[in-house]
Structure 1
Amino acid sequence: MTSSQEFLFLYKNERNIIYSFQSRKRFFMKTTYHTLVFLIFTIITTLLITMNKKWKIILNQQHQLFSLISLVIFLTIYGVIITLEQIRFMRGINYIAAFLLAISLGFLIAVEASWYTLETNINSIFISCIVAIVISGIAFNMKHDVTIYMNQLIMLTFTFMIMACLLFFLSQKIDTTFLRHLYALGGFLLSCAYIAIDTQSISIKNRYNQLATNEYVLGGVQIYFPKQVKMFGNSTRTAARMTTVRMCSNKPKTGGTGTIREAGGAFADMGKAKEDQFFYNLQKEQLKKMHQHLEEEIKNHKKQAEEHQAAIKRHEEKLKELRAAAGEYKE
């Protein structure tokens, strides 16, 4: 008779514990529950930040800086959780660490979400859910065990995070548009890999690198956090580019050329929209040209206002003279 746990030797000096179906089922339900709890905390944090107009302005002005800070905080907490068993198994401390991770992830998503419009964020969430469901379904039914690559994936993740920091510093010196596109593609592929491995590690089927049945807190963390921020970020950028292309194609046929008129044509089709994704996706040179053009317009308007004020004073003095002359004529 097979006991609830037995050892299966897949490689030399390596082993895997096979748990009973009932224990795997209970573990899967607990993991799903904790994932939903952490997800709720993440959503609350994101909404509280993005609904604050002052915070949103600050995040937009210093977007790269806040992205780097939130990424470092998130990476630190996540690294502590997955590497220290004392944190994962100490009841109370593991929940505190998980909730701190949820808050830090919420802040990181809020930084990304504040950069885009509500329509773009909704589209990105929809894209993320579709991609995650499809890849999870494929991974669940896949015969090949991809959990054997867990350690390599973790090392690749830390390398990827370090590259993000280096990319931030490089962007202060050179144009990193092409590098950011490659980074976004790599992030998407890394997210897909995490979805596949995490799905197999908590699934009911027996896999090599299954999580222990008492690690449902870690399971709740792994099934959601590592992939969600990158999947959300890449989906948001994809949806943003789709929004930008659509808005540029809707610009009016008349009105001339140039960045200002092109943006104006896009804004004209949006009616009373207060925010526009087109602004956020313009290149630095275009933004500089827009800034210079607006400054010139402001100077011209100020000059015209001064001329109007001088004309008003002249007319008032002339009116006084006419009234005085009319009074003398009446007498």
Structure 2
Amino acid sequence: MPRTGDSLWELAAAEVQRRDNPEDDTEPSADTERSVFFIGNKNGGKTTIILRCIDRDETPTPTLALEYTFGRRAKGHNTPKDIAHFWELGGGTSLMDLIPIPITQENIRTLSIVLVLDLSRPSELWNTVEKLLQATRNHVNKVLADIGKSNTKTANQIVQNVWRNFPNNHPDRELIDPFPLPLLVIGSKYDIFQDFDPEKRKMICKTLRFVSHYYGASLLFTSKSESHRGVMRTFVNQLAFGQDKSKSLSVDHNKPLVVPAGLDSFSQIGSPPASDSDLRQVQVRTPMELWKKIYERHFPPKNTNDTKDTKDPAKDPQYAERHIDAMRAQKDQELEQYKRNADKSWKSMSLGSHVR
């Protein structure tokens, strides 16, 4: 470290020595910060995954709206820390209006997206993927466009970063449409999924491989098994703390899938599991539409309404505040009284108009 009173030449010599011997540099630099935004099925295990990755042994509680937590990792003694900001969207697809909050111009350069899908509910998978990724992508593109107005180079660099996993000689480089930010797709509850009929497992595995590869995402399945958790932690910690990428690869639909971004291909995935006659009958314009039609033939989407199931946080016991709740109850009573009085006023006005 330079000392007060050092001459310009002494400072320059110290800087040269520091560059030549970086291991001797004991002055820590600034901490590294990254952000990870978790989206996916309601009750799909997002909170559990986050807690596992930051070594917090506690019972997860349902995420009602948008929650934030963070984790730290030190690389060594007297060294800067890696700080990860974890955002989690609750409610499945019912709270997509909150998606813009964690995605800002300030953090988008170091932001990653994790989409958690509940493998035990295959009829909800496609709808969840389609709605959440589209809503997230729309806002990411908006933020990138705003950045591009003042700094085109930075906006372009953020987009180009996702192409690093797809070199020029990758056979599908011209056929994919990568998500504009690093994307990890996690299939949770594999312990339930593994008991599905083999043909159903094959359909789900191939579909998720296709979707993940098309969006330039990594894909993995996980469960309560410690070995599965270890693989999951490696992938998430790579996004959150910049740790080394996983070298694992498994595309066998009889085993948990582990497919890092860029290591799959459409030729390996193959066509949707359907007969030639069924494929010819489907009227579509893109491969994505074809996979959607075939998948929904196997797993018809359910008419679920996440919004109806979303609880009111004001009435949730875990957020109880005695004084605030008492004031809220009083205001609710005042509102009901106001509505009754207003209703009487309108009725009297209506009767008066008829008399005249």
Q: Which has the larger radius of gyration?
A: 1
**TM-score greater than 0.5 by the shorter chain:** no
Identify the structure with bigger relative contact order (alpha carbons < 8 Å, sequence gap 6+): 1
The structure with more helix, counted as a fraction of residues: 1
TM-score tier (shorter): under 0.3
Normalised TM-score (structure 1): 0.23
